[in-house]
Amino acid sequence: MFYISKRMEIAGSHSLTLSYESKCESLHGHNWIVTVYCKSETLNADGMVCDFTRIKEQIHGYLDHGNLNELLPFNPTAENIARWVVERIPECYKCKVQESENNTALYVADSAGGEDDAL
């Protein structure tokens, strides 16, 4: 099995719809650190699992400096963003979204992934 990862910093704003009162309901921004993990049993014709540039275009190119509420069709929590990334990149099986130094979400499509699934 071949594994790759791509780490990106994405600046963007969002506001959350929550079932309780929170400052996060107001529009605010983060510099997210998004790490995309991909795997494949075989390499493509170019000798890659997936092109790093394609990952950056699909995720960073779409989200960076945007209002995530306008770009994404769901409540843009770190957890939901991580799942969206995994669903957007076919080779991706895991994504870590770090919203701030102390707040990280991880989504794993299948736990039999091979790499450690811990944050």
Q: How far apart are CA 91 and CA 3, in angstroms?
A: 10
Strands 66-67 vs 2-14: parallel, antiparallel or unpaired: parallel
pTM for this prediction: 0.91
Q: What is the pLDDT of residues 5-61, one digit of tens each?
A: 999 999 999 999 999 999 999 999 999 999 999 999 999 999 999 999 999 999 999
20 CB-near residues (< 8 Å, 6+ apart): none
Q: Which fold has domain 2-19+28-108?
A: Tetrahydropterin Synthase; Chain A (3.30.479)
Domain ranges of the chain: 2-19+28-108
Q: Look at residue 118 in the predicted model and tell me its pLDDT.
A: 54
**26: DSSP letter:** S
In Å, what is the CA distance from 57 to each residue of 52, 54, 118? 9, 5, 27
Is-contact 103 109, C-beta < 8 A? Answer: no
